[in-house]
Amino acid sequence: MAYVLVTGGTGFIGSHTVVELIKAGRDVLIVDSLINSKKTVLDQIKKITGVKPKFIKADLVDENAVTRIFTDNEIDSVIHFAGLKAVGESVKIPLMYYQNNLISTLNILNNMLAHGVDKLVFSSSATVYGDPASVPIREDFPLSATNPYGRTKLMIEQILSDMAKAIPHVRFSVLRYFNPIGAHESGHLGEDPRGIPNNLVPYVARVAAGILPQVNVFGNDYKTHDGTGVRDYIHVVDLARAHLAALKRLDETNETIERFNIGTGKGYSVLDVIHAYEKAAGVKIPYVITERRSGDIDACYADPTKAKEILHWEAEYDLDRMCRDSVRFLEMYPEGIPEDASF
Ligand code: UFG
């Protein structure tokens, strides 16, 4: 059977998706540069599934490397996760974000056309809705971006829309993720950022584990039920399963491009998350209210109806479960997944 090519397959969402693909009997080829993940994630995937997926270390910005991947392997479809994703960093080094996220995607698209690969699932983000006029957010809301990272997602969505109009046989599924958290229930895979985390839950997890002293809550004067920012947190395994549903849909539909919100439809505040995590970890989590973080919005949560109706997918796991799985991962791997395969 031909491969599902998973770019960024050793990352947080990618690795969980690879597990679900293997469980569904698919042959997976992972390509990752390992700049933001570890090769030992492949061993973790094997612990869970019994299968170590085929892996190629490559930077997708390297056109020749991408051409070789498509020439040497029979590829059925692509799930494209790879990309730089830190909002703050993208403001400081925008060119790097445009260079990396756009060129890598163009290299993949060119090779898909050259090699007759016609199905792609793209990792987009709720960030493409900018500061939405209202919540919950539907897929037909106006799109905008407020930082270079978000602009790369929006630009790639636009490139895919143009291709979909021009080339009748391609099929694109654009998944707009809300806030993925949690970990695999085995405890063998989870979010493993390098350095001090930017995102709320990995930060809270490190405070709960005593690695960091306190959570900085970025503002309590937002227009939300307790003044802190509200987001749609989704279990990474639920999110992973949405990709399988999207692949299935690509085999069945005549639509050349479809876009889906992948969220739970429920909004939780920063304080809600801290309290849920306290319950899961059985510890008190100290926090202080600090200044707002520039660019943050009041509330962002999905209307996930379209994914339910068309992909027949919906999120199953609640916030407590997300926190429990995250706690288990950090208990098993307090220093993160080891770099060295001899553990
Ligand atoms: N927050 C804190 N303290 C922290 C970190 C975050 O109070 O230390 C707050 C933020 O202000 C926000 C909420 O927690 O209200 C969630 O923040 P995250 O950084 O975890 O997530 P964001 O919603 O800001 O961003 C995430 C992804 C982006 C993506 C966006 C899409 O990180 O890549 O969702 O909506 F673009």
Mutate which of 200, 296, 322 for ligand 1? The one with the most ligand atoms within 8 Å of its CB, which is 200
Smallest Cα–Cα separation from 60: which of 84, 37, 39? 84
Report CA(196)–ligand 1 centroid distance (Å).
14
Mutate which of 228, 293, 326 for ligand 1? The one with the most ligand atoms within 8 Å of its CB, which is 293
Smallest Cα–Cα separation from 175: which of 312, 284, 81, 46? 81
**pLDDT score for 103:** 98
Q: Which residues are catalytic?
A: 149
**pLDDT score for 340:** 74
**pLDDT score for 1:** 73
Tens digits of pLDDT across the chain (343 residues): 799 999 999 999 999 999 999 999 999 999 999 999 999 999 999 999 999 999 999 999 999 999 999 999 999 999 999 999 999 999 999 999 999 999 999 999 999 999 999 999 999 999 999 999 999 999 999 999 999 999 999 999 999 999 999 999 999 999 999 999 999 999 999 998 888 899 999 999 999 999 999 999 999 999 999 999 999 999 999 999 999 999 999 999 999 999 999 999 999 999 999 999 999 999 999 999 999 999 999 999 999 999 999 999 999 999 999 999 999 999 999 989 998 754 4
- In ligand 1, the atom with minimum distance to the C-alpha of 179 is 34
Give the chain's domains with CATH numbers.
Answer: 3-332 (3.40.50.720)
Q: Is 30 in the pocket of ligand 1 (CB under 6 A)?
A: no
Q: Is 218 in the pocket of ligand 1 (CB under 6 A)?
A: yes
Q: Is 231 in the pocket of ligand 1 (CB under 6 A)?
A: yes
Q: Is 127 in the pocket of ligand 1 (CB under 6 A)?
A: yes
Smallest Cα–Cα separation from 15: which of 81, 84, 70? 81
- In ligand 1, the atom with minimum distance to the C-alpha of 197 is 8
Pairing of strands 54-57, 171-177: unpaired
Q: Is 170 in the pocket of ligand 1 (CB under 6 A)?
A: no
**pLDDT score for 194:** 83
Q: By the 8 A CB rule, do 149 and 86 touch?
A: yes
Q: Please give the structure tokens belonging to residue 6.
A: 């998973």
Residue 285 carries which side chain, given as an amino acid letter? I
pTM of the model: 0.98
Q: Is 12 in the pocket of ligand 1 (CB under 6 A)?
A: no
**pLDDT score for 341:** 59
Burial (Cβ within 10 Å: 0-12, 13-18, ≥19) of residue 184: buried
How would you label 258-297 residue by residue, b for 16+ Cβ within 10 Å and e otherwise? bbbbbbbbbbbbbbbbbebbeebbeeebebeeeeeeeeeb
Report CA(11)–ligand 1 centroid distance (Å).
18
